[in-house]
Amino acid sequence: MIYFDNSATTKPFKEVLDSYVKVSSEYFGNPSSLHSMGIQAEKLLSQARLQVANLLEVKPSEIYFTSGGTESNNLAIKGTALFHKNRGRHIIVSSVEHPSVRGAMKQLNREGFEITYLPVDSSGRVHVEDVKRAIRNDTILVSVMQVNNEVGTIQPIKEIGEVVKEHTSAIFHVDAVQALAKVPLQLYNHHVDLCSFSGHKFHGLKGTGGLFIRNGVKLDPIFSGGNQEWKMRSGTENVAGAVAMAKALRMTMEKTNTGVEQMNKLMSLLRTGLSRIEDVTFNTPLENVAPHILNFSIPGIKAEVMIHALEQKNIFLSTTSACSSKQKSPSKTLLAMGVPERVADSAFRISLSYENSVEEAGTVITAIEEAVKQLRKVMK
């Protein structure tokens, strides 16, 4: 099997699974319980929090465990809106965000919040000047993802953070789900107030994630209950998941230097090989792009048909983001970039992990070339 859909989810490391099973079976106490088993669980949770904080170079008190990127994005966005609605109701967001962000914005718009959607250029990048023009006195939140989940474009987070802090008291949220452990982000130096991440994107488990909340930043919780996670995220903590995620993040970040170098090598091979296909168009830019995502189109080839043809050869890649792949409409990200609908309709996404090899890349190139030839013969 060749798995090239790592932006949708990654395969958990064996050591991560082992740690999850061990904690679940031997340290299953509720961390809110006062007896020794609860105290053991609470200690493991605190150790996981400290490990994640150290890896992100922030304080443990700024790490809040959640169920994943979607919850973290919703907590960051809705929590900010609810707490600061009396100060202002204007929010700025890019036009190429993840569905969890777009959906939250739609809900807030129905509640009377005004949303400004920043345009992107043909490479999918926000211009800092557009952020500056959009900021108003009543702006309470600016939300921009660090790495686009469909085309891999890296946004100018540091520059946007500087503009936000210089021109407004708004909170700056960054969705780093696709970036963490692949693209550097200095949360303090880049003036980030809130940052979302998800464990299953770096070889952790689904249902695990976190939100960095800079000390002093105020949010309203969106879950009511037992006031866990310093009253910010009620619900019995997933101790085993948090421990497993901390281990996954550590293991992935230990491989970052060699892993990124390997990904860049594979991406060069893939671009060169796929460019031999007639009419192929690369939607992922050459500059300001993450090392693991390559989006390309083959006009006239139905994306869904191609995906299933490759699956017959035990090769797995995707069309758009996993959260949007079952929708029949073209990618909103590609359309926002100015990609013609016909081209956007035939878009594919290859997404790598540090585990992928040169041999796999060569096999995938050949398989795509063969599939295109066969499909074009059928279409004639």
Residue 327 pLDDT class (50, 70, 90 cuts): low
The predicted model gives 287-298 an average pLDDT of: 97
Q: What are the pLDDT digits (tens) for 203-257?
A: 999 999 999 999 999 999 998 888 888 888 878 889 999 999 999 999 999 999 9
- Say which residues have a Cβ less than 8 Å from residue 312's Cβ, sequence separation at least 6: none
Phi and psi angles of residue 4, each rounded to the nearest 5 degrees, phi first = -120, 40
- Known catalytic residue: 195? no
d(CA 63, CA 82): 20
- Give start and end residues of each alpha helix (H) in 27-142: 36-56, 69-84, 99-110, 128-134
Which whole-number Å values give the CA distances from 238 to 21, 67, 71, 185, 244, in the listed order? 12, 8, 14, 26, 10
pLDDT of amino acid 354: 95
Q: Are residue 348 and residue 300 in the same domain, yes or no?
A: yes
Q: Which residue has the higher pLDDT, 153 or 226?
A: 153
Same domain for 136 and 126: yes
Last residue of a domain, one of 188, 223, 253: 253
Residues 264 and 342 in one domain: yes
Together in a domain, 95 and 147: yes
Please state the rounded mean pLDDT for residues 360-370: 96
85 band by pLDDT with thresholds 50, 70 and 90: very high
Residue 44 shares a structural domain with residue 158: yes
Does residue 229 sit in the same domain as residue 110?
A: yes
User: What mean pLDDT is predicted for residues 273-296?
Assistant: 96
Is pLDDT of 323 > 80?
no
CATH number of the domain where residue 247 is located: 3.40.640.10
pLDDT at 326: 53
Exactly one of 323, 335, 367, 375 is catalytic; name it: 323
Report whether pLDDT(97) > 70: yes
pLDDT tens per residue, range 52-82: 999 999 999 999 999 999 999 999 999 999 9
- Taking 90 as the threshold, does the pLDDT of residue 13 lie above it? yes
Q: What is the pLDDT of residue 304?
A: 87
Handedness of CA 52, 147, 161, 88 (dihedral sign): negative
- Checking if the pLDDT of 276 tops 50, the result is yes
Q: Are 209 and 72 in contact (CB under 8 A)?
A: yes
Domain CATH code at residue 347: 3.90.1150.10
Mean pLDDT for all residues in the chain: 94
- Rounded to an integer, the average pLDDT of 319-329 is 58
- Beta strands (DSSP E) in the chain are 2-3, 63-66, 90-94, 114-118, 139-143, 171-175, 194-198, 209-213, 281-282, 293-297, 315-316, 347-351
Domain of 181, in residue numbers: 14-253
Q: How many domains does the chain have?
A: 2
Note whether 93 and 101 are within 8 A (CB): yes
